Structure 1
């Protein structure tokens, strides 16, 4: 794999680490959870044969430090960060945008806020639970996760979060004695390295690069659980605006995610907008588990 061009961009309250590969029209990839730019390593090289592929670590994650580590997070500000990258790399030219999970929420808001700069958005499993008919239940889940995190710490909060993301839609408390190890529930929204911290803590030797990424994932988890989960999963999209932009929005899900909470908003919103729902291979982290197939389908989605 060729090395990307790496840069830093100052934005309001943060410094963003970004990476660029290839030539052609700009394709911005927005990661979800704690994945960061590295979450796209499996697909970026192939996409760079056709596009200028840019990705980055969202503010507060990995190599994109906040000026104020205690700053509250807002979807609109994360979307403005993405816009600043567009302006830097493709000034005045419309771009294509892909977002995964919480990054998909950023992409959806970017489309509604900066319509003239976006030709198409592919949003893979955005956990916009506020669009669902049973949104009060999920609002309560977020409240329990936040309260548990403050009172008991990271792993108990992750156990509560995992229970709320299960396929049966159960948002109740985890069973007593349930294993709340670092991998539990993280795969649902924390990026491809999620769960890798289990191997690190267990003393299993990983390749140096994988070990470093696993350690970074674990380091980013408190920020993810404490700031990103409550801010992003309480986001309410502008449905009326999206109806007017439905020809530019492709909502997508993973074939193996059916029934999970992170799966449900996309088909519900697609039906509301009268738009097609695209199924990608794998589950919520299909771009990591099925990179070749995922990348090829993404390429087709942008060329359609």
Structure 2
């Protein structure tokens, strides 16, 4: 089995597990800044950034990503050292599983807005919403899925304009080839439902080691993943730590986000 990852910088190991389908596109600015302090290891669980985009992909399992992340750490960690881990979105779900199932040699795990809706009192309704997003993509196409996802993340019903947009437009369902042609297609059809159906191991995540920080985007206030993250932090004995931007803060605010992550992992003084 071949695990795909990139390494840059020097210092203690910081493993990054990207969101979506695990493709690292757009992370270059943040990883460049982080590599001034850390050996940044960017994990690519499906190899999409390493020439495998378009190849067959089965429905993904969170445990598969975290087992792969553990193998990557085995390969890159110097003897006797432990690693920092950062994951965002679906990558944060994998980071939680890594912390609960492979805690050895992990120093501090930061999970940014993991969509672990199982912690919510209305978990079943939210899981159904994510299933509707996947099904909308497969039957109507990317725009219909995007409209449904936006409304779901903002915890509101579809507006009349959105309903008209999805009902008036001719369905453009992706072909099996289309589903695998882009990271977003892979995410919507192979990652979204299994990862949002994952139930975190709350007892294991409440343990003293490794340290867990649950991070939430400042601009996500009032949205589903802000609520989810806040519930998760509470249920693991912590408080959600605010980070710059929203769900995609690592992409939209790379300098501020990298500074906040660095300060979270290695506090000044």
Same topology, TM > 0.5: yes
Q: Which residue of structure 2 lines up, in the alignment, with residue 204 of structure 1?
A: none
Q: What are the equivalent positions in structure 2 for 1:80-119 lying under 5 Å apart?
A: 80-90=67-77, 92=79, 93-119=81-107
User: Using a 3 Å threshold, how does the CA distance of structure 1 residues 38 and 149 change in structure 2: closer, same or farther?
Assistant: closer
Alignment match, 2:35: 48
Q: Any conservation in 2 of the 1:31–1:39 contact (CA below 8 Å)?
A: no
1:140 aligned residue: 128
2:192 aligns with 229
Mark the CA change 1:179 to 1:153 in structure 2 (over 3 Å): closer, same or farther: closer
Separation in structure 2 between the aligned mates of residue 171 and residue 229 of structure 1, nearest angstrom = 20
**2:10 — aligned with what?**
23
Farther off after superposition, 223-232 or 257-266:
257-266
Closer, same or farther in 2 for the Cα pair 1:109/1:245, shift >3 Å? farther
**TM superposition score normalised by structure 1:** 0.76
Q: 1:50 to 1:60 in 2, by over 3 A?
A: closer
**Structure 2: distance between partners of 1:283 and 1:294:** 10
Structure 2: runs of 5+ lacking an equivalent: 168-179
Superposition pairs of residues 1-304 of structure 1, within 5 angstroms = 10-11=1-2, 16=4, 18-34=5-21, 36-59=23-46, 61-63=48-50, 65=52, 69-90=56-77, 92=79, 93-166=81-154, 169-170=155-156, 175-178=162-165, 219-245=182-208, 248-304=211-267
Distance in 1 (CA, whole Å) between partners of 2:51 and 2:200 is 26
How many residues align structurally?
255
Shift of 1:179: 7.3
Contact 2:119/2:232 (8 A) holds in 1: yes
Distance 1:289 1:268, change over 3 A: same
Q: Distance in 1 between matches of 2:60 and 2:22?
A: 17
The structure-2 alpha-carbon separation of the partners of 1:43 and 1:243, relative to structure 1 and needing over 3 Å to count, comes to same
List runs of 5+ in structure 1 lacking aligned partners: 1-9, 181-216
Report if the CA contact (8 A) 2:106-2:210 is conserved.
Answer: no
Q: Is the 8 A contact 1:19 1:37 kept in 2?
A: no
Describe the SS at the equivalent of 2:225: coil
C-alpha distance after superposition, 1:88-121 (max 9, x if no partner):
1115531000011111111110011111121110
Q: Tell me, in whole angstroms, the C-alpha distance in 2 between the residues paired with 1:260 and 1:28.
A: 27
Kindly indicate whether the alpha-carbon contact (under 8 Å) linking 1:57 and 1:64 is maintained by their aligned counterparts in 2: no
Q: Please, what TM-score do these two structures have when normalized by structure 2?
A: 0.85
**How much has 1:134 moved relative to structure 2?**
0.9
Is the contact between residue 27 and residue 250 of structure 2 (CA under 8 Å) also seen in structure 1?
yes
The secondary structure found in structure 1 opposite 2:199 is coil
Per-residue CA distance 1:172-212 (angstroms, 9 max, x = gap):
687322379xxxxxxxxxxxxxxxxxxxxxxxxxxxxxxxx
CA offsets per residue over residues 116-151 of structure 1, 9 Å max, x none? 121110111111111111111102112212332333
Q: CA separation of 1:172/1:33 partners in 2, compared to 1, >3 Å: closer, same or farther?
A: same
Instruction: Give the superposition deviation at 1:245.
Output: 4.1
